[in-house]
Amino acid sequence: MWPLDGLRPEIIDEAIEVSPPPPRRHGVVANRLRQASGAHLADGGHAAYQGLTVIHHRKAWTPDLVIAPRDLDELSDEEDLGVDASGVAAVFEVVSPGREARSRDRERKRRAYARAGIPLYVMIDDFDGEGTVSVLTSPNSDKAVYADEHRVPYGTDAVVPDGPVKGFVIGEAITKA
Please tell me the predicted confidence (pLDDT) of residue 79: 72
| Torsion from C-alpha of 106, 108, 113, 116, nearest 10 degrees | 160
Please tell me the predicted confidence (pLDDT) of residue 8: 59
Residue 84 Cα distances to 18, 31, 56, 148, angstroms: 21, 23, 6, 23
CA dist 44 and 165 (Å) reads 10
pLDDT per residue, tens digit, the chain (177 aa), is: 444 455 555 555 665 656 656 668 889 999 999 999 999 999 999 999 998 999 998 888 889 999 999 998 877 766 778 899 999 999 999 998 877 777 778 888 899 999 999 999 999 999 999 999 999 999 999 999 999 999 999 999 999 999 999 999 999 999 998
CB-based contact 34:50 (threshold 8 Å): yes
CB-based contact 47:41 (threshold 8 Å): yes
Please tell me the predicted confidence (pLDDT) of residue 2: 42
Please tell me the predicted confidence (pLDDT) of residue 1: 40
